[in-house]
Structure 1
Amino acid sequence: MIIWLIGLWCVLEGPVGQIQGRVVGLPADPKELTAQLKDTAFSAPISQSGEFSIKDIHPGTYQLQIRQNNVVRLSRVVTVVANQTLSLDLDLRAAANYLETVQVHAVSRTDQSLVHAPAAVTVLQGEDLYLGESAGQLPNLLGHLPGVDISQTGTFDFNVNARGLNTLLNRRVVVLVDGRNTAVTQLGNQEWFALGLAPDDINRIEFVRGPSSALYGANAFNGVLDIRTKSATELAGGTAQFGVGENNLATARLSWGQALSDRFALAVRLSTFQSDQWEQSRTAQDPVEYAGLRPEALALNRTTTNRAGQSILLDTDVKSWAASLRLDYQATQDLQFSLEAGTSETENFVGVADIGRGHIGKVERPFYRVSADYRALHASYWRTERNTPEDEYFLASGGQLWEQSYDQQFELTYQHDFSDVWQAVIGGSAHWQDLDTSKPGDPTRRQSSISQPVDSHQEALFGQIRYQPNAAWQLVLADRFDQSTLHDSEHSPKVAINWTPQANQSVRLTYNRAFQSPSFPDFFLYAPAGVLDLTPLEAALEAATGVPLPTDFGLTPVVALGNESLRVEQIETWELGYRGMVWGSWVLDCNVYRSEAEDFVTELLPGVNPNVPSYQLPAGIPEPLAQAILGALAQALGPYYPALALDENGRPQIVLSYTNAGAATLTGFEFQLTGFLSPQWQVEWMGTYLDFDRSDALIEANAPEWTLGAGSTYQAEHWQANLKGTYRDGFYSAAGIYAGPVPSYFGLDGSFRYQMGQHWDLRLSGTNLLDRDHYAQFGGAVIGRMTQLSANYSW
C-alpha cells in the first residue's frame, strides 16, 4: 500500500528550481569531478573553471555532494526554492570551511552541516575508517573518539558505549547499519563479528553521543551509532582482499558494485575470516588468568564434560563468513528503491556476559532490508534473525542455551520545509519481536532461558521542528511517544538551542531524556539454579517440638526468575557544547554535560519480585510454633531468607529476581582538537573526564575517570599512514558475577596503506602495537596485539 501511494505521488509535479555553483580549490587533475544531489539522479559535471549547473530540481532540502571518481570531496545541505536559482561558492580545500561542508544525518534524521548539528557528534570517513581494518574488529576505529567507551572483553567481543554506565552486554547505544538495528533480540547486545563489514564497504559513520530517544526510541540511552555502507554506484567496481595476521588470522573479502543500466545497480559483498582467540580456559585445573576470577565448570580447547555427562570439545578457533546482495533501482529522478538481503555464520565465538562467559558453537544472522525514497518521504522495512543450531554453553555453570528469534520493523518518515525559517520531520514505526529459546527440533519446546516463548511489539510516533529565524539562531524541539507490550508508554522530549555567531562557529545548549528497556531475560527469565536441602532443618524442628510438621521443606528448588513488573531505566541530560574553527586551521569540539539516571535494573536479588507470593506457613500451626519455625528459617537462610517463596502449587522455593533501584549523577567533559596542518597532514588531541556519583553501592560507572589521546594522519600521493594513542585511567569494574580493579593502560593503534599502481595496494593495520597485555573490563580476556597485513586488488 505504501509503495503504491509513493508511486501515485510520483505523478504530481510542481514548479522547479535550479542550482548554479562555482568550485575553488580544484585538484591538479579535475577530471571526473561532478556535482550531485545525494540519493537522486540530479547531477552535473564541473568544468575546468569550476562551474556547474543543475536544473529542474523539485523544491526541498538536499545534500549536495562534490564527487571525483565516486569519492565525496565535499558535502553541503542546500534548500531549493521553486522558480528560483540558488547560487553557491564552494571550496575544496580541507580546512577552508570544514564545519560547513561536513554533513551529518543521524542527529536530526535530516542532512545538516556539522556546525549546525544540535548534538555532540563525530563523523568518520575516508582514512579514519582503516583503524578498523582487522577482520571482525570494526569497533576498534571508535576507541579514539572523545566520550566513547570501547570495552574489548575478548578477541572479537566488544561493547560500544558513551559516557559511562558500561556493562558486559551493552545496550545503551542504538547501532544502525543502513537504518537496520543489528542488536541481538534476546539480550539487546551487538555481535560485531557477524556484520561482515570492512572499511572499503563503509561510506561514513556518525556517532551521536548523549540521550537520543527523542528520534530513536528505546535503548538510545547514551547515543546512536549510524553506519552507512556504500551503494552499488559508490562501489563502482570491485575490490578483492586477502590478508593474514597474528593469532593465526586469515581473511578474504570481495566487494563489487556496478550500474547494470541507467536505472539498476547491483552490489555483492562476500567475506570470511578464521582466527584463534585470546580467551583462556578458567577451570580449577588451569592457571589463573588474573587475580579475582572465579573458576568455571567447563574447559576450553580440551575435552570437558557437560551436565549430561557427555564429553564435549569447546574449540576457540573462530570461523566466520558473511554475504549480502543489494539492488538499487532509480525509478525516476525523485523515486528510488533499495533492496538488500544477507546472512552470516560464525562458529566457536567466546564472549562475556553478566552471568559469566559463553561459548557459541554456531550462530546464524540472516537479514533483509527494503527502502523507498520519494523526495522528502522515506519508507523502510527490515528484519534481522538469530539462530543457534548448535549448543551454546555457559562456561561458569555448564548450562546450555539456544535461540531462534527475529526483530522486524516498518518505519515511515517525512521531512517538510515550510519556509526558510521552519522545518519539520515527522515519522512513525511499528516493531515486532519473537523469541524462542528451545533446542532446535525439540517437540516439547522446553525453553532454555525464559519461562515460555515470547512475542512483543512496539509502536512509536515522533517529530521534530526546527525554527531558524536568522542565520545565527536555531531552536529545535522534538519528542517521541513509544508504547510497548513490555513496559509502560514513554515519551522522550528534546530541546536544543544553537547559536552560530559567525561562519564555522557554534554554541549549543541541549536537554534530552531517554530510556532503556529491560531485556527479555530481565522480564521473563526462568533458570533453575540448584536445590537447597532443608530436610535437616525440618527434622530438627520436629525433634524439638515432638510433633510432625506440614512444612514440606525437603529439597527446596532455587530458581532465578524475571520480573514482568520492571520499569525502564531513565536518563536526563543537560549539555553545553562548542564547535568551531580556531587559529585559522584548527577545529575545536568540546562539550560539558550533567546526567541524572535512575531505575537501574539490578542483579539477581532475594525477595524483590512482587509477582511471586512470599512464603507462608500452612494453616493450622499455632502462633508460637509458627514464630519458632520462621525464626529457624531466617537463621538458616541468612540474607536469602527474603527469597523464600511459594510456587504455583503452594510448595516452598527460593526465588532470586530483578528489580529497579538506585540513581546516579554523571558529570563529564569532552574535547577534540583537530589541526589541518596541510592538505596532506592532520593531527588531533582528545580528552574525556567523567565524574560519577551514585546513591546505591551496587551501581558502578565501569569507565575511567580520565581518557586522553593523540593521533596523526598523513596522506601522500601513493601512501597514507594513521597513528593514534590512547591512555585510560584505571577504575573499579562490577557487572554481574565479576567485580574487581581494571588497571590503567596506554594503547597505540595504526594503519598504513601503499598504492602500487592502478589496481594493487598493500595495507598494514594493528591495535595495541606495543603488545601491552591488559583487560578492559573485569572478567574479560587479556587483550594482546592484533595486526593484519593484506593485499588488495581493485578494478
Structure 2
Amino acid sequence: MVRKLLALFFSLSTFFAIAQTEVSGLVFDEYLEPFPGVSIRSSEGESATSNIDGEFTIKVKKFPVTINVSLVGFQTEVLQISDASEEINVILKETFVLDQVVVSASRTPERIIESPVTIERIGIADIKRNTSVSFYDGLVNLKGIDSYEANYGFKSINSRGFSTFDNTRFVQLVDGVETSIPATNFSVGNLVGPSELDVKNVEILPGASSALYGANAFNGILLMRTKSPFEFDGVSTYVKSGFISQEATEKSDLFYDVGARMAYKFSDKFAGKVNFTYFDAEEWHANDLSNTSGIAGVVIPGTRESDTNYDGVNVYGDEVSANINEIAQLLELGGLIPAGASALVPNVDVSRTGYAETDLVNYDGYNMKFDGSLHYRPWGDDRIEVILNSRFSRGNNIYQGSNRFSQKDYYVEQYKLEVLGKNFFLRGYYTGNDSGQSTDLRFLGIGIDELNKPSSQWYGEYIGAFLATGSHAAARNVADANRFVPGTQAFENALNTVASTPISNGGAGITDVTSYYHGDANYNFRDLIDWAEIQVGGSFRRHLVNSNGTLFTDLGSQITFDNYGFYTQIQKKFLNDKLKFTGSVRYDKSKNFEGNFSPRIALNYALDENNDHILRASYQTGFRNPSILEQYSGLRIGPNRFSIGTAEENLDRFVAITANNDGTTSTITGRDAFSRALLPSSVFAGAPVRANVSPVKPETVTSYELGYRSIIGINDDNILELDINGYYNQYQDFVAFKDVIIPNYGSLDANGQPDALALGALAAGDITAFNLNTNSLADISSYGFGLGASTKVFGNFNFGLNYTLSKLIFDQDSDPEFNPGFNTPEHQVKVSFGNPKLFKNIGFNINARWQDSFLWESSFLTGVIDSRTVIDAQLNYRIPVLKSRFKIGATNLTGEEYVVAPGSGSIGSVYYISWTIND
C-alpha cells in the first residue's frame, strides 16, 4: 500500500512539474538590438510578450511544442521546441509594407494590399528612420498626404484637397478617441496626441470614410495607436535639441524637446503606463509687410509711405479706414473746420497706422503633454481588457483662421473609459478645452490704437494737419503723436488691457471653455456567423458650447446640441477567396440638420494565388456637418465686418451694432445678413444685385476609386512594392465662405433691388461686410492620381518614390462670389533614400519633396503659394550596450524659406540632435 502511494505521489509530482515547465528566450531586430513588445504564442494556447531587454518566458505543458513569434509590421517566425534547455534566439525581420496588417479601412485586421481603399501607414521602424523632428512631422512624406505648418508643434494634416489650418474635413483619432478641439471641431496637429515613444503605428485613409467613421471623415481619417503596457513595458526617454533658423529673427533660436514613457506590467491582469513630453521652441515669425486690398483680399502694390490706405498682411490696426473727404465734410458742417475747407481735402481713403505682428506677440511657443492609463484584463489575456485613460495638454502657439490668433496657456483635457473584447469595443470619453489667455491679433492692434486715441480724434487731427501742410506724411505724423511705442511700459500696459478685455466688450480677448461627451460601440459577429463577416456600431456626441460671446452667439444663452449615428458592414469572399466584397452603410443625425445616409461598396480581386497582385474598386460617400463655428459663430473680424455661423437658429441669435459715417449706429441681425445681402462686385460696380445665400446645411461627397497594389519579386533578396490609385469626387452643397455686403439701413424689394433708403446707405458708404458660411449651388468636383513605389537599390539601400496629382474642377462663372478654397498643389513628388545599416550601428535617411505653385483662398487672405523643394535628412548611430540611439538631422536643408499660406509664418530650417533610450 505504501509503495502504491509513493508511486502515485511521484507520478503527480512529475505531472505538475511538466505542467509548470517554462521556456525562455530572446528576441532581436535585424540589427541585433533587443526587441520589446513582441508577441509569443504557443500551440497549446499560452502567450507571452518580450520585455524591454527582448526577454520572454512562456509556459509549456509538454514537448515538442510550436511557438509563433510575431509583431505587426514584421515577419512571423515559427519555431519547434523539443526541450526546455534549448537556447532560443529569434531575429524578426521587417515585412513588406503592403504585407503589413491594418485595421482602419474595415475596422478588422487585414493586409494593406487587401484593404478595400487606399491606405498609408507607418510603424515603429519607420519612426526610427524618420528624418523630421517628430514622427507626426514625417507624415508629410507619405503619398497623397499634405501638411501645413503653423508652428513647431502645430501641423495640419490633410489629403485630397480643400486644405486649411482649421481642417474640419479630416478626422484624427488616438486609440479611438478624437483629438479635435471641442470649439473648433479640428485637431491641432499632435498637440493633444501621443508621445513619439508611445506610438505603435499610424494609419491614414485618404478620402471619404464616413461609412464607418461618421460625420467629418470627409477628406480622410488619421488613426494613431499607442503601445500597450502589457506588451511594451519598461522606461524609455528621449532628449532633442538644436536650433531653428529663420531670417525674421536674424539669429538661430535654440529649442528643447524631451519625453519619457514609463510602463509596468504588474501581472497578467494589471498594467499601467504614463507619458510626459515637453517642448519649448521659437515659432515661425509672420512678418509680411506687403500691402493688401483688405480683409480676405489679395496682395496689391504699395507701402505705408506710398499708399494712404495701406493694409499690411501682418500688420493689425490698419484695417480701420475712412474717406477723409467725407469726414471733412462732416467736420465742416459741425463748424470744426472753416467753411469750404473740405474742398481742399482729397477724396481718398486713409487707414490708421497699426502695429506689426512681431510687436504684438511673443513667439516663444511651448507644449506640455501628459497622459496615463490603467489596463485591466480580468482573465489574464486579451479576451477582455478595461482601459481608463486621461490625457492633458497645455501650451502657447499662434493659429491662423479668419484672423491670426495668439493662444497663451490653452488647456485641453480628455478622459476615456473603454472595454475592449476580441469582437467588440465599448468606449466613452469627455473632451474639454480652455482657451486660456487667447487674443485676436487684428483686434489687439485695433484696440491699442483706439485706447491711445479714438479714431474720431485721430482723423480730426489728421485732416487738420493736412489742411495746414498739404502732406499726408506730415498729417500722419501729427495724428500719431504720442502713439504707444512697442517696447515701452505704456505699450505693454495698453496691450494687456486690450488683450484681457473680451471681444464682446470691445477688446481682443477670447474666452472658450467648450466641451463634449462622446460614446461609441462596435460588435463583430465573426464568431457567431461564418458565411460572412458582419459588424454593427454606433456613436453619440453632446456638445456644450461656452465662449461667453467671444466666438459664438452664446452671450447669456448657452448652446447645446447632439448628434448620433449607426452603421453596419458586411465582408464576404468569393471565388476561392480571390474576390472580396465589402459593403457598408451609416446613418447620422444632428440637431440642426436632416439625417444622412453614407453607403460604401468595395471590391478586391486577387490576380494570383498568393494575393500579391490586387485590383480594387470602390464607391463611397462622405458628408460633413458644418462645424460649430460654421453654425454658431458671431465673430467680429474687422471694422464693420463679421463672420457669422448660418444655422437657422443662429440667425436669430446674432445681433451687432455697426457704425455709420455720420456718427450714428445701426443694429443688424443675422436675418438682415441674408435678407439684404448683396454681391460685393455688384455694389462696387454701381449696379447692386442680391446675393444668393441660404442657411448652411451638410455637404456631401461621392467618391469613385480604382486601385492596384502589387508585390513584385525582383530576385531572392529584393522586391518592388507598387501602389497605384485614381479617384473622382463629386461634391454637393459644398460649404465654404461667401462674402456679402449689406446696407446698414433700408431693404431689398422682391426683385432684390435696394429701396431708396438702402441706396442712400450704399452711396454714403454705410455698409457692413459679412463672411457667411453657406452652400454653393455650383457643380464642384475633383480628381486625383497617386503612384507609390519602393524597393532596394545598390544592394541594401531603401528607395521610395511617390507622385500625387490633385485637380479641382470648378466653373467660377457658375457662382462668381464663391471661393472653394481647394488650397492644394496640382503636382507633388516625394523621394526617400536611405540605409538603416550603412555601417555597423550607423544608418541614414533622406527625404525630398517638391510641389508646384497653387492658389490659396481663405477668409484671411488669398494669394499664390510658390513652388518649392524641401529636403530633410538624418544620420543615426546606435550604441546597443547603452540601449541608445543618437540622431543628428535637419529639415529644409537648403534654407530656402517658404510660407504654406498667405500671412502665415515663414518656414526656415531646423537643425537637431536627439538621444533616445529604449525606443
TM-score range, shorter chain: 0.7 to 0.9
**Aligned pairs, how many?**
682
- 3-state SS of paired residue (1:246): strand
**Cα deviations by residue, 1:631-650 (Å, 9 ceiling, x for unpaired):** 43454459x6xx7xxxxxxx
Pair 1:335-2:384 in alignment: yes
Root mean square deviation of aligned Cα: 3.9
Q: 1:785 to 1:559 in 2, by over 3 A?
A: farther
Instruction: Determine whether 1:703 maps to 2:824.
Output: yes
Deviation at 1:678, TM superposition (A): 8.8
Q: Relative to 1, partners in 2 of residues 1:203 and 1:533: Cα closer, same or farther, differing over 3 Å?
A: closer
Paired residue type of 1:782: S
Q: Measure, in 2, the Cα distance between the counterparts of 1:675 and 1:246.
A: 34
Equivalence for 1:123: 121
Answering whether residue 615 of structure 2 is matched by residue 507 of structure 1, we say yes
1:450 corresponds in structure 2 to 553
Pairwise CA distance, 1:116: 1.3
Say which of 218, 234, 242 aligns to 2:239: 242
Displacement after TM superposition at 1:744 (Å): 0.4
Q: Secondary structure at the match of 2:107?
A: coil
> Residue 278 in 1 paired to residue 386 in 2?
no
Question: Which residue number in structure 1 is paired with residue 98 of structure 2?
Answer: 99
Report if aligned partners of 1:154, 1:782 keep a CA contact under 8 Å in 2. Answer: no
Q: Distance in 2 between matches of 1:617 and 1:45?
A: 73
Amino acid at match of 1:707: Q
The answer (yes or no) to whether the contact 1:249–1:274 under 8 Å persists in 2 is yes
1:203 maps to: 200
Note closer, same or farther for the CA distance 1:45–1:680 as it changes in structure 2 (3 Å cut): farther
SS at match of 1:167: coil
Distance 2:524 2:734 in 1: 36
Cα drift, residue 192 of structure 1: 2.3
What is the distance in 2 between the residues matched to 1:615 and 1:54? 85
Task: Classify the secondary structure of the residue corresponding to 2:200.
Answer: strand
Q: Is residue 602 of structure 2 the alignment partner of residue 603 of structure 1?
A: no
Which structure's residues are more often helix, by fraction?
Answer: 2
1:328 Cα deviation after fit = 1.4
C-alpha deviation, 1:448, in angstroms: 4.3
Is structure 2 residue 890 aligned with structure 1 residue 766?
A: yes
CA distance in 2, matches of 1:382, 1:282: 42
> Structure 2 matches for 1:174-253, cutoff 5 A?
174-192=171-189, 194-195=191-192, 197-247=194-244, 248-253=254-259
Distance 1:784 1:772 in 2: 7
Match of residue 861, structure 2, among 720, 726, 738: 738
- The answer as to whether partners of 1:272 and 1:321 remain within 8 angstroms in 2 is yes
Q: 1:752 to 1:337 in 2, by over 3 A?
A: farther
Higher mean alpha-carbon deviation, 553-562 vs 477-486, is at: 553-562
What does residue 721 of structure 2 align with?
587
- 2:138 partner SS: helix
1:732·1:742 contact (CA, 8 Å) conserved in 2? yes
Shift of 1:389: 2.7
The answer to whether structure 1 residue 684 and structure 2 residue 800 are counterparts is yes
Q: Aligned partners of 1:208, 1:162: CA distance in 2, in Å? A: 9
- 2:379 pairs with 1:351: no
- TM-score of the pair, normalised by structure 1: 0.78
Q: 2:439 aligns with which of 367, 374, 392?
A: 392
* 1:168 counterpart = 2:298: no
Deviation at residue 393 of structure 1 after TM alignment: 2.6
* Distance in structure 2 (CA, Å) of the matches to 1:43 and 1:481: 40
Is the aligned partner of 1:629 residue 2:768? no
Counterpart of 2:829 in structure 1: which amino acid? L
Q: 1:114 to 1:391 in 2, by over 3 A?
A: closer
Q: 2:755 and 2:227 mapped to 1: Cα distance?
A: 71
Paired residue type of 1:358: F
Query: What is the identity, as a one-letter code, of the residue corresponding to 1:459?
Result: Y
Contact 2:746 / 2:756 at 8 angstroms: preserved in 1? no
User: For the structure 1 residues 533 and 703, does the alpha-carbon distance in structure 2 shift closer, same or farther, using more than 3 Å as the test?
Assistant: same
1:423 aligns with 2:533: yes
Match of 1:750 in 2: 873
Letter in 2 for 1:224: I
2:384 is matched by which residue type in structure 1?
L
Q: Separation in 2 of the partners of 1:133 and 1:26?
A: 21
Q: Deviations over 1:299-354 (max 9, x none)?
A: 9xxxxx999xxx9963111122111111111111321112211211102x11211x
Residue 262 (str. 1) matches residue 268 (str. 2): yes
Quick one: distance in 1 between partners of 2:34 and 2:363? 50
Q: The residue matched to 1:141 in structure 2 has which SS?
A: helix
Matching residue of 1:60: none
Change in Cα spacing, 1:164 to 1:556, as seen in structure 2 (3 Å) is: same
CA 1:117–1:385: 2 relative to 1, 3 Å = same
Secondary structure of the structure 2 residue equivalent to 1:143: helix
> Which residue is equivalent to 2:708?
578
Partner of 1:82: none
- Cα distance, 1:700–1:176 mapped onto 2, change above 3 Å: same
Distance in 2 (CA, whole Å) between partners of 1:753 and 1:236 is 24
Q: State the alpha-carbon separation in 2 of the partners of residues 481 and 493 from structure 1.
A: 9
Give the aligned partner of residue 846 of structure 2: 723
Matched residues in 2 for 1:382 and 1:722: separation? Answer: 39
Gaps of 5+ in 2: 1-27, 51-56, 62-66, 78-89, 245-253, 293-297, 301-311, 319-351, 446-507, 641-656, 675-693
Moved more, 499-508 or 367-376: 367-376
Residues 235-264 of structure 1, C-alpha deviations (whole Å, 9 max, x = no match): 321112222111310122111112112211
* Greater mean alpha carbon deviation, residues 756-765 or residues 178-187: 756-765
Contact 1:731 1:743 in 2 (8 A): yes
Q: How far off is 1:113 after superposition?
A: 1.2
Relative to structure 1, the CA distance from residue 466 to residue 448 in structure 2 (aligned partners, 3 Å threshold; closer, same or farther) is closer
Q: What secondary structure, in the 3-state scheme, does the structure 1 residue paired with 2:171 have?
A: strand
* Matches of 2:46 and 2:894, distance apart in 1: 49
Q: Counterparts of 2:584 and 2:558 in 1: how far apart (Å)?
A: 36
Q: Which residue of 1 aligns with 2:324?
A: none
Partner of 1:545: none
SS in structure 2 opposite 1:194? coil
Q: 1:681 to 1:126 in 2, by over 3 A?
A: farther
CA shift digits 1:256-307 (9 cap, x unpaired): 1121122111111111111111223567999xxx9665243279xxxxx999
Q: Which residue of 2 aligns with 1:4?
A: none
What is the match of residue 664 of structure 2?
554
| TM-score, with length taken from structure 2 | 0.68
Residue 11 of structure 1 corresponds to which residue in structure 2?
none
Q: Which amino acid aligns with 2:757?
A: I
User: Could you tell me how far 1:459 is from its partner in structure 2?
Assistant: 1.1
2:603 paired with 1:497: yes
Q: What are the within-5 Å matches in structure 2 for residues 282-293 of structure 1?
A: none
Q: Which residue pairs with 2:5 in the alignment?
A: none
Q: Which structure carries more strand by proportion? A: 1
Residues 131 and 219 of structure 1, relative CA distance in 2, 3 Å threshold: farther
Shift of 1:226: 0.5
> For residues 613 and 28 of structure 1, what CA distance do their matches in structure 2 show?
72
Aligned partner letter, 1:249: F
Structure 1 counterpart of 2:153: 156
The one-letter code of the counterpart of 1:367 is: Q
Secondary structure of the residue aligned to 1:735 is: coil
Inter-partner Cα distance in structure 2 for 1:429 and 1:162:
25
Which position in structure 1 is the counterpart of 2:315? 296
Asked if 1:320 corresponds to 2:367, the answer is yes
Residue deviations 1:486-511, cap 9 Å, x none? 32211111010110121211000101
The structure with the largest alpha-carbon Rg is: 2
Q: Give the whole-Å Cα distance in 1 for the aligned partners of 2:907 and 2:773.
A: 32
Per-residue deviation, 1:666: 0.7
